[in-house]
Amino acid sequence: MDQKKEQQVGNENRKDEQLESFRKQNTGPDKAMEDVNGTKVANNQKTLRAGKRGPLLMQDFHFYKKQSHFSRERIPEKVVHARGFGAYGDFELYESMKDYTVAGFLQEPGTKTPVFVRFSNFIGNRGSKDTAVDIRGFAVKFYTEEGNYDSLSLQFPVFILADAMKFADVTHAAKPNPRTHIPQATVAHDNFWDYVVSNPESAHMVMWVMSMRGRPRSWRMMEGYPINTFRFVNESGKSTFFRLVWKPKLGVHSLLLDEANLIGGVDPDFHRRDIIEAIENGAYPEYELGVQLINEEDELKYDFDILDDTKLWPEEEIPAKIIGKLTLNRLMDNFFAEEEQSAFNPANLVPGIEFSNDPVLQGRSFAYRDTELYRQHSANYEELPVNRPLKQATNNQRDSYMKYPIDTDPVHFHNNSQAGNTPAEVSPEEGGYENYPKSVEGHVTREHPSDSFSDYYTQARAFWNSLSMPEKQDLVESFSYHVGSVKSKELRQKAVEMFANVDSGFAGMLAENIGVKPPQNTNVENDKSYPSLSQLNSPHSAMTQKVAVLIGNEFDGKEVRDTLDVFEQSGVVFELIGEKLGPVICSKGNEFEIDKAFLTVHPVLYDAIYVVGGSAGNQMLFDQHISDFVRMQYMHMKPIGVAASGVQYLLNTEDNNMDGVVVAEENGDFANQFINAIAQKRFWDRT
């Protein structure tokens, strides 16, 4: 292996080593308080006044420095994807892609590349809830040896528009009403649905947003699709079109609409807390990277345009070749310095990766950098620790706000003779970035690249065809909730007519639910379906599922201990929930420590419950809490395990088929059966 490859294989900690030089510790026994000028501070609690009852003196420079800094702590939030959270990790290459690209981090199997990943919500502001029905970002910054490569994904394979010119319009439509500034973090309002029915290319992505995919259970259980079409370019100069997909090892799983709404109030930080706890507990989120490849000569062979971001590349027709794995294994040290100041740009490329003529990608290549120049008020934002490449960049760019490296060169222009014309250009053979020499011809026009851009419903119908019955029922409910919140009956009717083009039966159910006439339109002809689009075909596992153990005193300690041991062996996370914090004592005298009291938790925060029961100081209130958990978990079709001491809490009536309820009484295999139920996650046939 040559020296460059050895560096790549061993560089997974290089970003962390670089960040170490920027870390600062302000607390400790030897830390004296100093102001920003280095002057020691004698009093940081009271302002300087003219007499005990007198006014503040302007000469109190300690107060002025402290308050003026505080007044400027925030920077403008992002217009979209304002609410986010980040984590560090590494990407390990399984299979070489050197036949397709010269990108260095994709050459040698085993190469590990440090990464920073930011998850985000599209619509809401920085303080909104995690669980909103929304588009989510999944941005990955690869700190490669050849510079930073940014790959920006959504949790859907399609976008809501086919040309960047409309990006401001759809964002304005999705955001709160400009007069009232409500509603926050939702598209359940007239403006958004007016945009949808007026711009039919939005139909496909709206189907995805309204589906379960718009409500991920966790960022750890969410796919990521960069949506745009790029090119790989290999050593011979051959171009191959590609799209990427991040596939979570835990599978793709979601919240129900009712759950998402409730969790947003109970714990607005639900997704953040989930990934923090996972990383802290060593259950590192993992995603495999799939690459879809299309030869340049096959660009026009499909029944969709590969440059159209409102169309997906079906994996059944264009397989996703798994080439590597992303692992998130370290949390940030400082949210503002790392997450809030992080910046991603699809134009941050490395040799071997190039743009296609994708109209949305062409616009994004301008928009992202322009946004950060406004937000961070400086062309130097890429010198911030979280954004800077592994190697110090050398160039002739100078000055601007917050320029803290001290450039000592007396010459800062190109071409020059005084410094031997350095920094020098680098040939493509030595690693310099070279644009692919694609053929460009034609008249200046604002036309779509092809007529298939105007086929708005064929793939949307394929998505509908691909869903299981529970997913279809959920989609009807989600559409009914959002379109049903639209005040204009005319817009509700237009929405029904629009989505009748996708499926007339679906639109008919929607019409009945939102109080408008049945649709006159009928759906397009398309019988295709793709199993890869249904979440029910995603991997299912009990790993990291969160179980509430509802427990009091006087229970069978052996049964509970054996069950909790199986939880631990299976990677299930559990919390003991009781009347109050402190120990509970089983019938044999052994103690278990309560993690949380009923007062501080809610049923929707758990994937399953294990009902142990027992005695309590306030038995009536204790029983009511357990009954509330059982009722809600049963309603949300989640697994329920019942200990021998907890059978009294079962909802056992002729109307309940008890599907997904596992009882320990006279059941020697209870723990394993319950683990299988937890892995299944939902019991859609439950009554």
Query: What residue numbers does the annotated binding site for heme cover?
Result: 118, 167, 364, 368, 375
Binding site listing: 118, 167, 364, 368, 375
Pairing of strands 353-355, 546-551: unpaired
- Residue 183: partners with Cβ closer than 8 Å, 6 or more residues away: 176, 177, 189
Taking CB atoms within 8 Å and a gap of at least 24, the contacts of 578-584 are 578/550, 578/551, 578/552, 578/616, 579/552, 579/616, 579/617, 579/618, 579/621, 579/622, 579/625, 580/617, 584/551, 584/552, 584/553, 584/555, 584/614
Q: How far is it, in rounded angstroms, from Cα 537 to Cα 533?
A: 8
Q: 3-class secondary structure for 111-171?
A: CEEEEEEEEEECCCCCCCCCCCCCCEEEEEEEEECCEEEEEEEECCCCCCCCCHHHHHHHH
Burial class (CB in 10 A: 0-12, 13-18, 19+), 46: exposed
| CA-wise closest residue to 339 among 116, 562, 109, 149 | 116
Helix axes 469-483, 489-500, angle to 10 degrees: 150
Q: How far is it, in rounded angstroms, from Cα 467 to Cα 460?
A: 11
Q: How far is it, in rounded angstroms, from Cα 412 to Cα 395?
A: 8
Q: Look up tokens 């171009």; give the residue.
A: 239
What is the Cα gyration radius of the chain? 28
Q: CA separation (Å) from 247 to 155, 224, 315, 322, 329?
A: 10, 7, 12, 9, 17
Q: CA separation (Å) from 327 to 115, 271, 283, 291, 443?
A: 9, 17, 10, 17, 47
Residue 452: how many other CB atoms lie within 10 Å: 17
Q: How far is it, in rounded angstroms, from Cα 226 to Cα 156?
A: 9
Provide the 3-class DSSP secondary structure of residue 611: strand
